[in-house]
Amino acid sequence: MTNAIWTQGVEWLAAAAPDPRACKREWDHGSGTALLEAGRFWDVVSVPEQLGLLALDILWCDPHQTPGPTLVDTAARRVGFFLPPDPASQWIGSQLRHAGKGSWVAVPPPYRPAGSLEWIIPPDGTGALHPALTLELALRQANGTLAVLAPVTQD
């Protein structure tokens, strides 16, 4: 069963590449990562690691929804959430990055990490993504939690 999900995830993710076959070759025989264009099948919202992991934990608490594909870059200490493309969206926040149309995202294959890039939740090939509003609310809640937990600074 897992191999079928990985195969579907590979096909779905590689479809975002200009040449899906070259993308899969790069995953298997090259650097292990491929640059894929955002904005056609998905956008990516990237946030600092601590915020992203807390938001993902919040998303897992909803029994009616499974979080979508989520990538972590352990070197950059960032978490990337894949969500539906929306050219009109305006993601605003401290250290928040939105990769939409015209942006390129480095991704490993769904079945293994490559360098510092690793899937926390790999794509399953169904096209399931994080709903934008649900993700926004989880990020707000996580940000509020982190603000409360932040050490009090002395003036």
Please say whether the beta carbons of 80 and 73 come within 8 A: yes
Residue keyed to tokens 């894929």? 36
Note the pLDDT tens digit of each residue in 44-79.
999 999 999 999 999 999 888 889 999 999 999 999
d(CA 7, CA 131): 24
146-150, Cβ contacts within 8 angstroms, sequence gap of 24 or more: 146/50, 146/51, 146/54
Distance of CA 77 to the CA centre of its chain: 13
Kindly report the pTM of this predicted structure: 0.90
Note the pLDDT tens digit of each residue in 124-153.
999 999 999 999 999 999 988 888 876 655
**Nearest 5°: CA angle at 137, between 135 and 140?**
110
